[in-house]
Amino acid sequence: MTIRIVHTADNHIGMPFRQHGDEARKQLLEERFEALERLIETANDSHADFFIISGDLFDSTRVKTPYIERTVGILNKFSGTSVLVLPGNHDFYAGDDTEVWKRFHKVSSEFSNIELLTTTSVVTFEMSGETIQFFPCPCPSKTGKDPMTSWIANAEKNLSALRIGIAHGNVTGLGLDANDRYFTMTMPDLEAIGLTTWLLGHIHVPFPTTSSGSKSQLFMAGTHTPDSVRCKHPGSAWLLDFEQSQLKSYKRLSPGKIRFVRIDRTLHTINDISELQKTCDSLDPDTVILDLKLSGQLSTEEQNELHQSIQKVQKLFRTCTVDLDIKNKIDSDTIATLYPQGTLAERLLSTLLADNQHPNDVTLAHDLIQEISIS
Ligand SMILES: [Mn+2]
């Protein structure tokens, strides 16, 4: 018999996205719910038995009640045996008074298929003669030096059962936690504990790096939909099949729809502007959070062209921010107006203007000359 698990983490429901404008904020907040909903649908379509969330389902311990209610409503649609929810370091569990889990418990208690993993004790399921043991390692705080996995060494394990660890924190070699502040685990330690597989959260990038396969001791879910321009994957989760208490196969799922795209360009010519326009036209304006970072030198006419182009893009895209650093292009007319013929400045600038290999130099030299003559 196959035991099928969908594994996710770091959904960060309620993430405020403060650095974005109103429209983008709304879109990004909404996307985190919708991507979770798509993932539940995929899990149902593939008849998964368990839906496992390895921490940071919520962005904080003070997430708004309506967000918790909506999340529980989505999780409740899971048609398999159970949804297991582990508190991570953002939504840590520090006792029954922890706001987010108090509210979560209240909302979810009427749904028997949602189980909150707040204690370090084995959770066992029997399915068609097979035993599945889950070993939860909830985070008790935002930060912590030691891994939360140590209790498992002394826990009673059924060696013929499928034994799955669920934890949240950094893993040496996978993340960038030089200070050991996030419950840091190591791969050899995890392997030595004697479980079949580890389902982890915290690092927003998925591990393994291959999108399908049959062997891996641990899985890092990766955030389910991109959360910033630094996120290079389209959102991830895992579909895992186990047979006879062993991992049979894994496949990466991509429930995300939104993409962050930063276009960083230096513009010198009309052609550069039309290339920029072409790149923007090739993107989906409804799902791309566009961030334009434009610099360079352009003539007045070219700058007008650029502004028209930007206006077009901003009208088309739901969200587009623009960071402009465009200087006035120095042409022969400007040189002739500012510097009498035959002067050093005129000769220098005219020579640099003629040098097509280095189109920035004439502007740079002009800036320097202006600076000297002003001071
Ligand atoms: Mn985390």
Q: What is the pLDDT of residues 206-250, one digit of tens each?
A: 999 999 999 999 999 999 999 999 999 999 999 999 999 999 999
87 C-alpha to center of ligand 1: Å? 9
For 113-127, write each residue's pLDDT tens digit.
999 999 999 999 999
Q: Which band of pLDDT confidence, cut at 50, 70 and 90, is reported for residue 334?
A: confident
141 C-alpha to center of ligand 1: Å? 11
171 C-alpha to center of ligand 1: Å? 12
For 339-360, write each residue's pLDDT tens digit.
999 999 999 999 999 998 987 7
Separation of alpha carbons 124 and 4, rounded Å: 16
- Whether the ω angle into residue 140 lies within 30 degrees of 0, i.e. cis, is no
Is residue 180 scored above 90 in pLDDT?
no
Q: Which band of pLDDT confidence, cut at 50, 70 and 90, is reported for residue 76?
A: very high
Q: Between helices 65-75 and 99-108, what is the axis angle to 10°?
A: 50
Q: Hey, what amino acid is at 132?
A: I
Q: Does the predicted model carry a pTM greater than 0.85?
A: yes
Any idea what DSSP says for residue 181?
Answer: -
238 C-alpha to center of ligand 1: Å? 18
Decide: helix, strand or coil at residue 238: strand
Separation of alpha carbons 62 and 94, rounded Å: 13
Q: Which band of pLDDT confidence, cut at 50, 70 and 90, is reported for residue 375?
A: low
Separation of alpha carbons 170 and 104, rounded Å: 25
108 DSSP β-pair partners: none
Residue 190: both structure tokens together: 């995890």
245 C-alpha to center of ligand 1: Å? 28
Q: What is the mean pLDDT of the chain?
A: 94
Beta-sheet strand order (sheet of 82-86): 114-116, 82-86, 50-54, 2-8, 237-243, 246-253, 212-213
139 C-alpha to center of ligand 1: Å? 9
Q: What contacts 42, CB < 8 A, 6 or more positions away? A: 6, 239, 253, 255
Summarize the confidence of residues 323-333 as an average pLDDT.
Answer: 89
Q: Where does 128-287 show beta strands of DSSP type E?
A: 130-137, 162-168, 197-201, 212-213, 218-220, 237-243, 246-253, 259-267
- Quick one: which H or E segment has residue 23? helix 22-45
Separation of alpha carbons 104 and 69, rounded Å: 7
12 C-alpha to center of ligand 1: Å? 9
- Quick one: which H or E segment has residue 50? strand 50-54
What pLDDT score was predicted for residue 247? Answer: 97
306 C-alpha to center of ligand 1: Å? 41
49 C-alpha to center of ligand 1: Å? 25
Q: Hey, what amino acid is at 68?
A: I
What pLDDT score was predicted for residue 17? Answer: 95
Q: Which band of pLDDT confidence, cut at 50, 70 and 90, is reported for residue 177?
A: low
